């Protein structure tokens, strides 16, 4: 289908080509190239951190963060059930136990009251995940972490450039992580970043990213790490993208506002919040919920949209329902109704940076058609 509208398409322009070509011409294309440290320094400044550790992808960033905090057997980590599996996988692979909580029905982010109720003597950390364009309400989470002496892992992959009460998302955790997958606000193709203000924690992350080489005897290892390095080519692309972050965020807000304006009077949809008391929506993706009176679910809606030439994606499948975790005996009997409803009725429509006004109008028309409100 030649006119199919993808759910995401990034913008990669002349500046990206210029820096990548400079990297190629230098010959320093591996992780040893100078663009990696330049990207780390620039990105960490943007998100208000002292140290940045670039890595292979956002999942690698989470694995490194969990390992750097020495979480393991006997530890519990609280996180939202409404998130990508990478968050729980990093915890499970460390030997720690994920404890999932439900989310707020309006913001779709983890509910601080439920986090407080889930804390036990075994709780070692809280992993917050900013979802879809709005941040978690951080103040009560930070208060809980301080009160109970818990580490705070902040997954800000979906909110690069976002703020909470005017402070950058990614600046709150003991350690915070980002992803630069092509659907994120800036991309390196694949790639991720760990950021922190703790110098010793940063050093440990660098070591874990690089196979835990002994600095004095390179091929002698006292700990197992990963080859999770980012290449200089990726970092060059990321640096060029970072220079345009403010422009990219304006595009995201413009797309979100167009959809909000078009859909606000449709009776069968629930739209994402435009703002909360502590943040405005960046519309990383534009998610919509089908109301109870609609005769089909999100899965069917996505199929119907595809037949009209529009790509859509389902909301996250809740962690407590994941077959792999059920096989492991995790989350036995858990029921988190908000997250289950979000998955059943929610999906997101095209909102990539390269989306044209003509494509936006086609998406709007397609939503009206499937809802019978054309």
**Residue in the structure block whose two tokens are 């069968």:** 268
For residue 342, what is the enclosing H or E element? helix 337-345
- Give catalytic status of residue 184 as yes or no: yes
DSSP assignment letter at 285: S
Q: Are 49 and 171 spatial neighbours (Cβ–Cβ below 8 Å)?
A: yes
Greatest CA span in the chain, whole angstroms?
Answer: 69
The three-point CA angle 266-275-301 to 5° equals 35
Q: Distance between CA atoms of 44 and 150, rounded to whole angstroms?
A: 23
Q: Distance between CA atoms of 124 and 74, rounded to whole angstroms?
A: 9
The whole-angstrom distance between residue 219's C-alpha and the CA centroid of its chain comes to 34
Which of 191, 147, 184, 193 has the alpha carbon at shortest distance from 46? 193
Annotate 6-39 with b (16+ C-beta within 10 A) or e (fewer).
ebbbbbbeeebeebbeebeeeebbebebebbebb
Q: Which is the catalytic residue, given 17, 165, 167, 184?
A: 184
For residue 181, what is the enclosing H or E element? none
What DSSP letter does each residue of 50-103 carry, written as one string? SEEEEES-HHHHHHHHHHHTT--TT-EEEEESSS-HHHHHHHHHHT-EEEEE-B
Active site residues: 184
């Amino acid at each position: 289908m030649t006119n199919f509208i993808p759910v995401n398409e990034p913008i990669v322009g002349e500046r990206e080509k210029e820096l990548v070509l400079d990297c190629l011409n230098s010959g320093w294309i591996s992780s040893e190239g100078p663009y990696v440290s330049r990207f780390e320094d620039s990105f960490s400044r943007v998100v208000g951190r002292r140290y940045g550790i670039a890595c292979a992808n956002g999942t690698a960033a989470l694995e490194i963060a969990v390992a750097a905090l020495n979480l393991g057997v006997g530890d519990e980590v609280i996180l939202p059930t409404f998130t990508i599996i990478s968050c729980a996988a990093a915890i499970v692979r460390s030997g720690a136990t994920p404890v999932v909580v439900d989310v707020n029905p309006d913001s779709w982010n983890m509910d601080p009251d439920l986090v407080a109720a889930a804390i036990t003597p075994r709780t070692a950390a809280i992993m917050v995940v900013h979802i879809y364009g709005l941040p978690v309400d951080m103040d009560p989470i930070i208060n809980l972490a301080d009160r109970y002496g818990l580490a705070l892992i902040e997954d800000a992959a979906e909110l690069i450039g976002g703020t909470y009460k005017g402070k950058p998302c990614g600046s709150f955790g003991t350690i915070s992580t980002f992803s630069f997958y092509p659907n994120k606000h800036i991309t390196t193709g694949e790639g991720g970043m760990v950021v922190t203000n703790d110098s010793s924690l940063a050093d440990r992350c660098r070591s874990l990213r690089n196979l835990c080489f002994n600095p004095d005897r390179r091929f002698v290892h006292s700990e197992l790490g990963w080859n999770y390095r980012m290449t200089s080519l990726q970092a060059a692309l990321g640096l060029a993208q970072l220079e345009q972050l403010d422009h990219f965020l304006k595009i995201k807000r413009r797309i979100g506002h167009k959809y909000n304006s078009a859909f606000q009077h449709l009776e069968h949809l629930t739209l994402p919040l435009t703002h909360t008391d502590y943040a405005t929506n960046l519309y990383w993706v534009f998610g919509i919920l089908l109301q109870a009176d609609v005769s089909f679910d999100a899965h069917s809606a996505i199929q119907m949209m595809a037949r009209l030439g529009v790509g859509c994606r389902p909301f996250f499948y809740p962690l407590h329902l994941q077959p792999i975790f059920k096989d492991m005996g995790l989350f036995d009997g858990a029921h988190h109704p908000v997250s289950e409803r979000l998955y059943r009725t929610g999906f997101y429509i095209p909102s990539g940076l390269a989306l044209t006004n003509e494509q936006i109008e086609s998406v709007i028309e397609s939503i009206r058609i499937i809802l019978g409100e054309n």
